[in-house]
Amino acid sequence: MIDLHTHILPGVDDGAVDLEVSLSMGRYGAEGGLNVVAATPHFYQIPDWNLVKKKVAELQQEFDQAEIPLKLVPGAELMIDLDLLELDTMEIPTYGDGGKFCLIELPLQQIPMYTEEVIFNLQTRGITPIIAHPERYAAVVEDPNLALEWIRQGCLIQMNAGSILGRFGSKILETAEIMLTHQMVHLVGSDAHGFERRRLNLPEARDALKNIVGSTVARHLTETNPDLILKGTFQATAKPQEYRKRKRFLFF
């Protein structure tokens, strides 16, 4: 399995507080069946792509010395902001080969008016935005078809494992299930922040995914698609479907 959304770098953001926590996260993930983990710190807290890559390489050395069989790859979680338009293309953190995909998050409570502008700007640079955990955004909980609009604009969707496991409440779980059953999700990641509550729980979520969308789709969301994203060759083939609320009939 491949987890493309974690905060496993020690002492850089609200994720792993120190190296010992990072190592514990890695051991847990490897024991659960993870092979590759992307370190995706909040970019506003390490606003230097070269520094992120350096810290990931340093943590990989620590994993190797501790005999933790996990490959780390660099990434970052970019908060959507007009400041991204000022960065040189090579300064924007992307996944894997070719720099074709980046992870970008929006505020949980409000979708900024400039969202489409930033998405379009990234796309003109040859970068496909991957929207992080939209099932947690209030606007998407209210209308899951907002995720469908982002897909139609050319974005990919990353869902959090914790959302599928019910860790963020029943409404977000319901939204996650709607998006999954309407093919509005391209990959699932843990968004792990530590070793206890928000850990590398992608293996747990995969079991839940099998019950929702079946084994084949669960494998695509946790293995095949993340692997192709790292290789820079992913192309969406599943056709997302519009969600229509069921009408309620009142009987008197």
Q: Between residues 238 and 248, which one has the greater pLDDT? A: 238
Q: Judge whether 245 lies within some domain.
A: no
Query: Residue 214 belongs to what domain range?
Result: 2-231
In which band, very low, low, confident or very high, does the pLDDT at 245 lie, cut at 50, 70 and 90?
confident
Q: Judge whether 104 lies within some domain.
A: yes
Q: Judge whether 82 lies within some domain.
A: yes
Tell me the one-letter amino acid at 101: F
Q: Judge whether 190 lies within some domain.
A: yes
| pLDDT tens profile 130-142 | 999 999 999 999 9
In which band, very low, low, confident or very high, does the pLDDT at 251 lie, cut at 50, 70 and 90?
low
Tell me the one-letter amino acid at 191: D
Distances (CA, A) of 141 to 101, 111, 150, 218: 25, 12, 15, 22
Q: Is 26 helix (H, G, I), strand (E, B) or coil?
A: helix
Looking at the predicted structure, is the pLDDT value of residue 248 above 60?
no
Tell me the one-letter amino acid at 199: R
Q: Judge whether 35 lies within some domain.
A: yes
Looking at the predicted structure, is the pLDDT value of residue 59 above 70?
yes
* Average pLDDT, rounded, for the chain: 95
| pLDDT tens profile 72-124 | 999 999 999 999 999 999 999 999 878 899 999 999 999 999 999 999 999 99
Looking at the predicted structure, is the pLDDT value of residue 150 above 70?
yes
Provide the token pair at 27: 């051991």
Distances (CA, A) of 197 to 18, 132, 166, 193, 200: 16, 19, 13, 8, 10
Q: What is the pLDDT of residue 93?
A: 97
In which band, very low, low, confident or very high, does the pLDDT at 56 lie, cut at 50, 70 and 90?
very high
pTM, two decimal places: 0.95
Q: Is 135 helix (H, G, I), strand (E, B) or coil?
A: helix
Q: What is the pLDDT of residue 97?
A: 75
Q: Which helix (H) or strand (E) holds 124?
A: helix 115-124
Q: Judge whether 247 lies within some domain.
A: no
Q: What is the pLDDT of residue 131?
A: 98
Q: Judge whether 171 lies within some domain.
A: yes
Distances (CA, A) of 105 to 77, 147, 216: 7, 13, 27
- The CATH code of the domain that includes 135 is 3.20.20.140
Domains in the chain, number:
1
